[in-house]
Amino acid sequence: MPQPLIADYPLRAHNTFGFDVRARFAMRLESEAQVAALANDGRIANLPQLVLGGGSNVVLTRDFDGVALLVGILGKRLIAQDDDAYFVEAGAGENWHDFVAWTLAVGMPGLENLALIPGTVGAAPIQNIGAYGLEMGERFERLRAIELATGEAHEFDREACAFGYRDSFFKRAGRGRFLITSVVFRLPKAWTPRADYADVARALENSGKHDAQAIFDAVVAVRRAKLPDWKVLGNAGSFFKNPVVGAEAFDALRAREPEVVSYRQPDGSAKLAAGWLIDRCGWKGRAIGGAAVHDRQALVLVNRGGATGAQVLELADAIRRDVFEHFGVQLEAEPVCL
């Protein structure tokens, strides 16, 4: 029995910016078999397809004249363990933050630094999400994905995913070709804390605790203090990647801007704090229509109400130009812009 095809479907609840756009059709997918069957579904054979999980990493600039594939594959379980690690599998439609909380509740820490990142488990490898000293790729084991054109299932290991900084195969060569159905994570039994970031360390010191749950709670508190809740003020989290510049370029920049916030890399390059660059250019709180730079965190673009995706992109382009003019540094957007 084919999945129902829903006509003229509103996508406002499926993108965290809250843009009021619609899809010509939508289909809910709750199993890998339903995803595989899409390749032989004549109703959508000639339609563009848009895969949506939580919609936390996408900017929808207009109505979508195709079929939105709404990923709702659930389930999470321990599938194996050895002397060194637990191997945990989760469906692509699982809420990421809830999944992280569950791993702690069942005694398998290792993802706590990635608490409160919006979106779904299936979206995490696409973006190679990261925060507070940890990238998802460090805990990744493998994933399953269906090739939409053929319905064939494929397994991707870490090498095949080609993880980079907020990047992966699925944002580049694999974009639009695959739908991720499940992800397996490797959580080390020999747990070691990641608590080097000042805000997290300060929160831990205040609590007097330093276990995985304390780090989870500290990360949640810090994120809530710094970042707007997308359910209240539409946003996609950090809009720009922190740019990386070579050692020579960084030394020249620091000579002009001694206060530049940066993080030296092992190869001598430096990762710059994009939020500092944007704030230095005076963008915090400025707006184009309903799209604005958050007044407390310059790295976050928000929908103050009634904004369009086109306005967000116009604002982002103006910020890029200004940062390049002032610092000679190119900013790159984290979300996928459609």
| Cα(150)–Cα(328) distance, integer angstroms | 45
The one catalytic residue among 56, 168, 182, 238: 238
Cβ burial 38-60 (10 Å sphere, 16+ → b, else e): beebeebeebebbbbbbbbbbbb
Q: Name the active-site residue from 32, 89, 135, 334.
A: 334
Q: Is 262 a catalytic residue?
A: no
* Helix (H) or strand (E) segment spanning residue 255: helix 247-256
Distance of CA 271 to the CA centre of its chain: 19
Q: Is 334 a catalytic residue?
A: yes
> Residue 103 is which amino acid?
T
Long-range contacts formed by 103-111: CB under 8 A, 24+ apart: 103/185, 103/187, 104/212, 104/213, 104/216, 106/78, 108/78, 108/187, 109/187, 109/191, 109/212, 109/213, 110/139, 110/185, 110/187, 110/188, 110/191, 110/212, 111/136, 111/139, 111/185, 111/187
Rounded Cα distance between 17 and 237, Å, is 9
Catalytic residue selected from 139, 166, 186, 280: 166
The pairing of strands 64-71 and 49-52 is parallel
- Cα angle 304, 309, 315 (rounded to 5 degrees) comes to 70
Tokens encoding 183: 């992800």
Q: Is 172 a catalytic residue?
A: no
The total number of residues shown for the chain amounts to 338
Residues in Cβ contact with 132 at an 8 Å cutoff, skipping those fewer than 6 apart: 113, 114, 194, 197, 200, 219, 222
Q: Can you read off the two tokens belonging to residue 15?
A: 């993108």
CA distance 269 to 245: 6
Q: CB count, 10 Å around CB of 263? A: 11
Count CB-CB contacts under 10 A for residue 178: 23
Q: Which residues are the active-site residues? A: 166, 238, 334
